[in-house]
């Protein structure tokens, strides 16, 4: 990317960043909210579609096919397509962001649940678990490590994609990148990029921490067989 | 307690039934072992009792109630179930695993805790294991938890599908002993599936031998099956060492013991020779006052039998040991007999003739 410099400015003007910390904080929060909503809705929809795919196996191929197509549409094109319908709104942003999480999340939920030891399912069913209880109390908790692994990939992807939504007036820290490009102001471009990377790492590590907390049994294993 | 009446199962897409017109009864408080080669439908039969496999035709009743008259989960909560691969819940502690069915049944917390404590002791685990996760236990310990979990809600019926198949022979033997010991205390009706005829003989009050296609070849006590196999299939399934298996089921006390060639320490060379001739042996046991000190070679006796230091009998068995152990003692001793005592008092001896006579009878 070629960055034009305003005359006489250094590459990064730290004084500008210090002077706009309020705006930085606002955009970081916006970024996290956009990501959080996308992951929350994405996971909910993915769980529902996964439950459907697990219950009726024939639906799994069409579900991954449709979400796979959604995943392969360039984000820029998707937002451009949605704007005439839903405008420059958060709804437009979230439709795009959510649809990009689905393929990853559904694949991991289904793989996680399929990966539960059949002996465990047989024992549970043999002791009188209903299908629903088996799913929520046994399969879902045991699939958590794989589901959270999917959530981490989806999280990192979403943090990156949120910056693109700056084009439709959303965008979190993408705001800085877009404005920097428009104003030939490298400080904002660097700021937006760095914040995006930091947020991606932070989200990834938080989800890893969440996994540790939610699956206390897996950390103590391996000491005996 | 459990009755199968012309039960058949044909799996979808198959033309021959896995189980065909199978009927038998299981009495309350007995261990019935289903045994047979792979494809004999033993596991299918077991799973039809808790409806993990639905019978294609025929009826199964437990405690007089047709099992299809209640919803399957409710039926299963009332029947203990133990499988070979155990299937403990890795995300739950040992206490939570054991509490599975009581929790499903909605027991009070205090009652659950009390029951878990009882069961931990009953199956030979220690209370500090309660807060551990299954992966932190050995295979044998995990299977004990599996048994405790199956017993948690005190179901009258226990279904066990090759529960000891995945542990090493030493642990398996111990778990078998523990199961028999446990059964003496809890008196469940147990249906046990295995492919191991020795396990079936050891554990079963009755053994059902199934042939491929779920055909019941013989259903009787282990002793009865070993004594008179119903047909060629059963005979072959029991194996070449059928007689030895019978011996392992028979305690020494079932056989009349003989006093054998025993002399007092005061016996002279002449007395010794007369005793040896009577019994057709070249040695005599030396004993007095109901005790047997040992034995000596007849030709070594010059003065009296008591002049010599008696050689000890290498093995002495109590009367509750099996004839198989007695036979082992017979074939591995100089004297060719098994000495039976109750630790102190000499009860008699067994020769190979006595043992084989018992088998032929």
**Residue A56 in contact with residue A223, Cβ under 8 Å?**
no
The reply to whether B167 falls in a domain is yes
Q: What is the pLDDT of residue A6?
A: 53
Angle (nearest 5°) at CA B290 between B288 and B291? 70
Q: What is the pLDDT of residue B246?
A: 86
Chain A residues inside the 8 Å CB shell of B90? 120, 142, 217-218, 221
In this structure, the answer to whether residues B145 and B213 fall within a common structural domain is yes
Q: What is the pLDDT of residue A87?
A: 87
DSSP element (H, E) containing B170: helix B169-186
CB contact under 8 A, B135 and A222: yes
The reply to whether B248 falls in a domain is no
Residue A98 has which token pair? 């959510």
Tell me the ipTM for this assembly: 0.78
Which of B44, B46, B71, B73 is the mutation pick for testing A, counting most A CBs within 10 A?
B73
**Residue B259 in contact with residue B351, Cβ under 8 Å?**
no
In this structure, the answer to whether residues B13 and B68 fall within a common structural domain is yes
Pairwise CA distance, residues A207 & A154, whole Å: 11
Q: For the domain that residue B12 is a member of, what is the CATH number?
A: 3.40.50.300
Report CA B326 to chain centroid distance, whole Å. 19
Q: What is the pLDDT of residue A219?
A: 66
CB contact under 8 A, B75 and A128: yes
The reply to whether B247 falls in a domain is no
In this structure, the answer to whether residues B276 and B142 fall within a common structural domain is no
To the nearest whole Å, the CA of A64 is away from the closest chain B CA by 29
To the nearest whole Å, the CA of B163 is away from the closest chain A CA by 12
Q: What is the pLDDT of residue A155?
A: 96
End-of-domain residue from the set B211, B241, B271: B241
In this structure, the answer to whether residues B266 and B202 fall within a common structural domain is no
Which of A123, A133, A224 is facing B135, going by the closest CB pair?
A: A224
In this structure, the answer to whether residues B236 and B260 fall within a common structural domain is no
List alpha helices for B70-123, DSSP H.
72-77, 94-98, 100-104, 109-122
Q: Say which residue the tokens 């451009």 belong to.
A: A80
Q: Is B324 helix (H, G, I), strand (E, B) or coil?
A: helix
To the nearest whole Å, the CA of B210 is away from the closest chain A CA by 23
pTM of the model: 0.79
**Residue B31 in contact with residue B144, Cβ under 8 Å?**
no
CB contact under 8 A, B139 and A124: no
DSSP element (H, E) containing B334: none
CB contact under 8 A, A123 and B81: yes
Distances B85 to A118, A120, A123, B107, B267 between C-alpha atoms, Å: 9, 8, 9, 27, 64
CB contact under 8 A, B74 and A128: yes
Q: Which structural domain range is residue B319 located in?
A: 253-360
**B117: Cβ–Cβ under 8 A, 6 or more apart, which residues?**
B127
Pairwise CA distance, residues B252 & B245, whole Å: 14
Q: Which structural domain range is residue A113 located in?
A: 26-214
In this structure, the answer to whether residues B183 and B262 fall within a common structural domain is no
In this structure, the answer to whether residues B189 and B262 fall within a common structural domain is no
Our CA dihedral for B272, B276, B278, B280, rounded to 10 degrees, sits at 180
The reply to whether A201 falls in a domain is yes
Number of domains in chain B: 2
The reply to whether A72 falls in a domain is yes
**Which residue, B259, B248, B242, B223, is CA-closest to B340?**
B259
Pairwise CA distance, residues A211 & A193, whole Å: 27
Q: What is the pLDDT of residue A224?
A: 37
End-of-domain residue from the set B191, B213, B241: B241
Query: What residues of chain A have any CB closer than 8 angstroms to a CB in chain B?
Result: 117, 119-130, 133, 138, 141-142, 215, 217-218, 220-225
The reply to whether B355 falls in a domain is yes
Instruction: Name the band, by pLDDT with cuts 50, 70 and 90, for residue B5.
Output: very high
In this structure, the answer to whether residues B184 and B268 fall within a common structural domain is no
The reply to whether A5 falls in a domain is no
By C-alpha distance, the chain B residue nearest A223 is B136
Asked if the model's pLDDT at residue B75 lies above 90, the reply is yes
**Residue A155 in contact with residue A39, Cβ under 8 Å?**
yes
Which of B78, B83, B91 is facing A122, going by the closest CB pair?
A: B83
By C-alpha distance, the chain B residue nearest A143 is B91
Q: What is the pLDDT of residue B161?
A: 95
- Its sign, for the CA torsion A205, A208, A213, A217, is negative
Pairwise CA distance, residues B301 & B270, whole Å: 9
The reply to whether A168 falls in a domain is yes
**Residue A98 in contact with residue B61, Cβ under 8 Å?**
no
DSSP element (H, E) containing B251: none
By C-alpha distance, the chain A residue nearest B139 is A225
In this structure, the answer to whether residues B222 and B354 fall within a common structural domain is no
Which of A117, A119, A126 is the mutation pick for testing B, counting most B CBs within 10 A?
A126
In this structure, the answer to whether residues B231 and B283 fall within a common structural domain is no
**Which tens digits make up the pLDDT trace of B178-224?**
999 999 998 999 999 999 999 999 999 999 999 998 999 999 999 89
CB contact under 8 A, B104 and A128: yes
Which of A119, A126, A224 is facing B76, going by the closest CB pair?
A: A126
**Which tens digits make up the pLDDT trace of B296-338?**
988 888 888 888 888 888 888 888 888 888 888 888 888 888 8
In this structure, the answer to whether residues B226 and B257 fall within a common structural domain is no
Q: For the domain that residue A57 is a member of, what is the CATH number?
A: 1.10.3720.10
DSSP element (H, E) containing B317: strand B316-317
Chain B residues inside the 8 Å CB shell of A117? 85, 87
CB contact under 8 A, B90 and A119: no
End-of-domain residue from the set B210, B241, B272: B241
Q: What is the pLDDT of residue A225?
A: 33
**What is the three-state SS of B190-212?**
EEEEECCHHHHHHHCCEEEEEEC
Q: For the domain that residue B272 is a member of, what is the CATH number?
A: 3.10.580.10
DSSP B5: E
The reply to whether A20 falls in a domain is no
Ranges of chain A with pLDDT below 50: 1, 221-225
The reply to whether B246 falls in a domain is no
**A115: Cβ–Cβ under 8 A, 6 or more apart, which residues?**
A143, A146
Residue B192 has which token pair? 């046990």
**Which residue, B6, B9, B109, B111, is CA-closest to B52?**
B9
CB contact under 8 A, B135 and A223: yes
In this structure, the answer to whether residues B138 and B161 fall within a common structural domain is yes
DSSP B345: S
Q: What is the pLDDT of residue B318?
A: 87
**B201: Cβ–Cβ under 8 A, 6 or more apart, which residues?**
B207, B222, B226, B245, B248, B249
Chain A residues inside the 8 Å CB shell of B50? 126
**B63: Cβ–Cβ under 8 A, 6 or more apart, which residues?**
B1, B156, B157
**Residue A63 in contact with residue A49, Cβ under 8 Å?**
yes
CB contact under 8 A, B87 and A117: yes
Pairwise CA distance, residues B2 & B155, whole Å: 13
CB contact under 8 A, B76 and A127: yes
Q: What is the pLDDT of residue A8?
A: 63
Chain A residues inside the 8 Å CB shell of B87? 117, 119-124
The reply to whether B7 falls in a domain is yes
DSSP element (H, E) containing A79: helix A75-86
Q: What is the pLDDT of residue B259?
A: 85
Count, residues in chain B: 361
**Residue B346 in contact with residue B290, Cβ under 8 Å?**
yes
Number of domains in chain A: 1
CB contacts < 8 A (A, B): 81
**Residue range B25-54: average pLDDT?**
95
Instruction: Name the band, by pLDDT with cuts 50, 70 and 90, for residue B34.
Output: very high
**Which tens digits make up the pLDDT trace of B259-293?**
889 888 888 888 888 888 888 888 899 988 888 88
The reply to whether A163 falls in a domain is yes
By C-alpha distance, the chain A residue nearest B91 is A217
């Amino acid at each position: 990317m070629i960055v034009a410099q305003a005359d006489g400015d250094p590459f990064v003007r730290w004084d500008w960043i210090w002077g706009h910390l309020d705006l930085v904080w606002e955009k970081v929060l916006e970024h996290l909210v956009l990501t959080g909503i996308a992951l929350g809705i994405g996971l909910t929809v993915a769980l529902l579609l996964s439950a459907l795919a697990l219950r009726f196996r024939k639906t799994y191929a069409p579900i991954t096919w449709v979400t796979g197509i959604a995943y392969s549409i360039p984000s820029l094109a998707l937002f451009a397509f949605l704007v005439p319908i839903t405008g420059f709104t958060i709804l437009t942003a979230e439709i795009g962001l959510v649809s990009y999480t689905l393929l990853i999340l559904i694949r991991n939920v289904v793989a996680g649940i399929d990966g539960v030891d059949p002996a465990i399912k047989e024992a549970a069913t043999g002791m009188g678990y209903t299908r629903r209880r088996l799913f929520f109390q046994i399969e879902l908790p045991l699939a958590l490590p794989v589901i959270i692994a999917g959530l981490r990939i989806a999280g990192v992807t979403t943090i990156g994609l949120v910056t693109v939504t700056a084009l439709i007036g959303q965008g979190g820290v993408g705001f800085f990148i877009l404005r920097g490009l428009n104003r030939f102001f490298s400080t904002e471009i660097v700021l937006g990029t760095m914040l995006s990377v930091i947020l991606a790492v932070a989200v990834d590590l938080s989800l890893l921490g969440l996994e540790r907390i939610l699956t206390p049994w897996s950390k103590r294993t391996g000491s005996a067989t | 307690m459990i009755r199968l009446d012309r039960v058949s199962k044909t799996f979808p897409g198959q033309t021959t039934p896995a189980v065909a017109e199978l009927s038998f009864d299981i009495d309350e408080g007995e261990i019935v072992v289903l045994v047979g080669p792979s494809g004999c439908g033993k596991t299918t039969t077991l799973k039809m009792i808790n409806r993990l496999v639905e019978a294609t035709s025929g009826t199964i009743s437990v405690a007089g109630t047709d099992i299809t008259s209640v919803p399957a989960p409710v039926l299963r909560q009332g029947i203990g179930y133990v499988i070979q691969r155990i299937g403990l819940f890795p995300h739950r502690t040992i206490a939570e695993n054991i509490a599975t069915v009581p929790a499903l049944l909605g027991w009070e917390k205090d009652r659950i805790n009390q029951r878990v404590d009882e069961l931990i002791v009953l199956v030979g685990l220690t209370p500090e294991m309660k807060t551990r996760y299954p992966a932190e236990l050995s295979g044998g310990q995990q299977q004990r938890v599996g048994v405790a979990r199956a017993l948690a809600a005190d179901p009258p019926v226990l279904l066990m599908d090759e529960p000891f198949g995945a542990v090493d022979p030493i642990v398996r033997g111990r778990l078998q002993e523990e199961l028999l010991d446990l059964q003496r205390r809890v008196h469940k009706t147990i249906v046990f599936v295995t492919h191991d005829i020795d396990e079936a003989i050891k554990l079963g009050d009755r053994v059902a031998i199934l042939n491929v296609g779920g055909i019941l070849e013989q259903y009787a006590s282990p002793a009865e099956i070993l004594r008179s196999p119903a047909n060629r299939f059963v005979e072959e399934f029991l194996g070449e060492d059928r007689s030895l298996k019978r011996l392992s089921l028979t305690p020494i006390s079932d056989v009349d013991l003989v006093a054998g060639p025993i002399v007092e320490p005061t016996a002279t060379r002449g007395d010794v020779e007369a005793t040896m001739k009577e019994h057709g042996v070249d040695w005599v046991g030396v004993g007095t006052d109901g005790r047997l000190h040992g034995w000596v070679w007849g030709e070594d006796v010059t003065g009296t039998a008591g002049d010599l230091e008696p050689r000890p009998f290498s093995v002495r068995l109590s009367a509750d040991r099996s004839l198989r152990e007695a036979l082992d003692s017979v074939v591995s001793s100089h004297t060719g007999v098994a000495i039976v005592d109750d630790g102190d008092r000499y009860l008699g001896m067994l020769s190979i003739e006595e043992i084989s006579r018992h088998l032929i009878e």
